[in-house]
Amino acid sequence: MRIENPEPPERTPRPEDGAPSPPPIYFYYPPGIGDGDIPESRGEFARNRPGNYIWTVKTCGYLSKLGFPCRLTHQLPDEGIILTHREFFTNRMIPNRRQVFVCLVADFWRHPFAQLHIVQNPRDPLLTHASPAWPAAFMRHWPETGLIPRDPARGDVFVNVSYFGLPTRLAPQLRHAQFAARLREHGFNFRIVSRDRWNDYSDTDAVLAVRSFAPVSWHKFPPTKLYNCWIAGVPGLLGGESAYQAERRNEYDYFEVRSADEVLQTLIRLRGDPALRAAVARNCAERAADVDPMRIAETWAAFLNTIAVPAWREWQHRSAASRTAFRVARVFRYLQFVCADFAMRGISLVRKQMRALAP
């Protein structure tokens, strides 16, 4: 079953309205982080943190800033709605009668016993191959913390092309020194930005981010780099990933490139057409509003109010036999999923090897 993102309600129901008291809502982050990592009410978060921090600590912090009742906890509560990253939900963790698990899948596998799942790509198989046995919803990933947009003082300068990400996740053709040298011949400066500066787009004129030029959907990865381009106000030259394609509304959202040659052609086109760059900048300003953190937080609040809370009440009202049947059925469905996934990966590997051996 695919859960559509609901529109944010005007306000959270209160007990005086006659509605039943809502369950406590927790974001679980295991022991081991310092007090400095706990978000404060002004919404400041540590940078350069892994996805498990972003999906839990950052989400809880923005919801708290919104005034939504939730708590960050280092101990797994024995009652309530419990959200956490897939890395923190081990397969042996099974919800009791008073718990509803919301698994923040990210780019990992689903959890065998979580009643609800959150995915970061609208083309994730949990949604494209929706099943009533695996209720799931898409939620936008948070943009880069403390992002510094392109400096307006750069004006019409169009020289610096930046990649913000791990070098190993950049297409091999773009990591090669010959590619950077080729761009330099045409007046462009291509650089791979160090992780400690992933928030700084002040001297960036265009972003290049391609995992592979092969026709791969990358259905587990989010469109975060696209969100960051919009907020930074710079054109993005991106690969043909399903997450980007799902967000695309017009030709100015980003430029899909399919080869190193097309990268260079697109850069030359952008440099020679100031009107096109101006249209991209205007579009970035409009699309940045869609991924404003407080708007994303409102979507989270709507999901929790209209999907997670009713699921918790329904789970509590189930009989013991019904909950046992759910757990048993999930064991078999999870094993079925794992076997199918391994088979698919095996077929994919064989195909890649056959292509590599082809003359």
Kindly write down the DSSP assignment for every residue of 326-354, as one continuous string. Answer: HHHHHHHHHHHHHHHHHHHHHHHHHHHHH
Q: How far apart are alpha carbons 326 and 332 in whole angstroms? A: 10
pLDDT at residue 48, rounded to an integer: 76
What count of other Cβ atoms lies within 10 Å of the Cβ of residue 240? 18
Say which range, 35-39, 158-162, 246-250, has the weakest mean pLDDT.
35-39
Contact 236, 267 (CB under 8 A): no
**What DSSP letter does each residue of 219-235 carry, written as one string?**
TTS--HHHHHHHHHT--
Contact 134, 126 (CB under 8 A): yes
Domains of the chain: 2-141+292-317 (no CATH), 152-290 (3.40.50.2000)
pLDDT at residue 337, rounded to an integer: 84
When pLDDT is cut at 50, 70 and 90, the band that residue 29 belongs to is very high
When pLDDT is cut at 50, 70 and 90, the band that residue 37 belongs to is low
pLDDT tops 70 at residue 355: no
- Token pair 């757990």 is found at 327
**Cα–Cα–Cα angle for 34, 40, 42, rounded to 5 degrees:** 150
Q: Report the chain's C-alpha Rg in angstroms.
A: 22
pLDDT at residue 46, rounded to an integer: 73
pLDDT at residue 12, rounded to an integer: 42
Q: What is the mean pLDDT of the chain?
A: 89
Q: Can you list the positions of beta strands (E) in 148-193?
A: 160-164, 189-193
pLDDT tops 70 at residue 295: yes
Contact 274, 156 (CB under 8 A): yes
pLDDT tops 70 at residue 210: yes
pLDDT at residue 7, rounded to an integer: 41
pLDDT tops 90 at residue 42: no
**Higher pLDDT among residues 306 and 38, named by residue:** 306
3-state secondary structure of 128: helix
pLDDT tops 60 at residue 358: no
pLDDT tops 60 at residue 1: no
Q: How far apart are alpha carbons 301 and 69 in whole angstroms? A: 9
- The 10s digit of each residue's pLDDT in 165-206 is 999 999 999 999 999 999 999 999 999 999 999 999 999 999
Q: How far apart are alpha carbons 179 and 260 in whole angstroms? A: 8
pLDDT tops 70 at residue 147: yes
Which amino acid appears at position 313 of this protein? R
- The 10s digit of each residue's pLDDT in 80-121 is 999 999 999 999 999 999 999 999 999 999 999 999 999 999
What count of other Cβ atoms lies within 10 Å of the Cβ of residue 219? 19
**Cα–Cα–Cα angle for 288, 290, 291, rounded to 5 degrees:** 70
Contact 11, 68 (CB under 8 A): no
pLDDT tops 50 at residue 32: yes
Q: How far apart are alpha carbons 115 and 117 in whole angstroms? A: 7
